[in-house]
Structure 1
Amino acid sequence: MIHNAIINITNLRLRTYIGFNEDEKCKQQDIIINAEIHYPANTMCLSDDVDNALNYKVICKNIIHHVENGRFLLLEKLTSDVLGLCVDNPMVSFAKVTIDKPHALRFADSVSLTLSYSNDEYKGG
């Protein structure tokens, strides 16, 4: 029996250059990342075999490095890049990333964008 493991990275708060206005290009802004990553938790993984589990620490470190060292004009590009880092492992069957940009609109708490990926062909091989 294959179980569906779901890793959630919740409210990862980072700073990056995001936006195309001149002040946005010169000053880092806060962003908040939420990611959901699905993969099959096979018998070896459920029996505490580290080599067969998805390493969320590595994924998170890759996200932090990419975001903090990057410059992005569009929230869509940033979100797409982070989603790509989440699905870099072939075991991933589904992932969803939402990135919030607080204070982007004067009367709103934040603006966010969500992208998702689904690998319907993955059969746990």
Structure 2
Amino acid sequence: MMNAVIEITNLRLRTFIGFNDEEKTKQQDIVINAEIHYPLNNGCITDKVSDALNYKTITKAIIKHVESGRFLLLEKLVADVLSICSEHPDVVYSKVKIDKPHALRFADSVSLSLDFHSNTTQEN
């Protein structure tokens, strides 16, 4: 069994994130990085689209959720995006890291990462 890894790199979006007054009224930039692992089946090798995880569908769901949402905590935003990345039953591992580039005055960014491990084990 081969394992596939989808990587979504530097997805730049804007959302309401934070609990200070200014953060509640002004959207902020965020940068999302996600990694999604799933077993590659023979259908993918033979070029059957229906047998692959659709990264475009996943990315569209992330964009819709982030851009239409309001989040007090970075932890909640990261957990929500991780849930979107992990919802397909074939996903065995996923990790999401979200950066808030302008969160601290003297830092390039503040980020938070969460990961998911499936409870099911894959036979090799």
What is the TM-score of this pair, normalised by structure 1? 0.96
The one-letter code of the counterpart of 1:35 is: A
Q: CA deviation at 1:121?
A: 1.1
Unaligned runs of 5+ in 2: none
- Alignment-derived partner of residue 61 in structure 1: 60
CA deviation string 1:66-125 (max 9, x = no partner):
00000000000000000000011000000000000011011000000000001141427x
Structure 2 match to 1:80: 79
How many Å separate the matches in 2 of 1:67 and 1:41?
29
1:90 maps to 89
1:118 corresponds in structure 2 to: 117
- Unaligned 5+ segments in structure 1 are none
- The residue matched to 2:37 in structure 1 has which SS? strand
Amino acid at match of 2:34: A
Please provide the CA RMSD for this pair: 0.9
Alpha-carbon distance between aligned partners in 1 of 2:105 and 2:59, rounded to the nearest angstrom: 30
Equivalence for 1:50: 49
Aligned length: 123
CA–CA separation in structure 1 for the residues paired with 2:44 and 2:121: 17
Aligned to 1:11: 10
Report if aligned partners of 1:91, 1:122 keep a CA contact under 8 Å in 2.
no
* SS of aligned partner of 2:59: helix
1:102 and 2:104 aligned: no
Check 1:79–1:110 CA distance in 2 against 1; reply closer, same or farther (3 A cut): same
Secondary structure of the 1:65 match is helix
Aligned equivalents of 2:83 and 2:45: distance in 1? 26
Query: What letter is aligned with 2:60?
Result: K
Counterpart residue identity of residue 19, structure 1: G
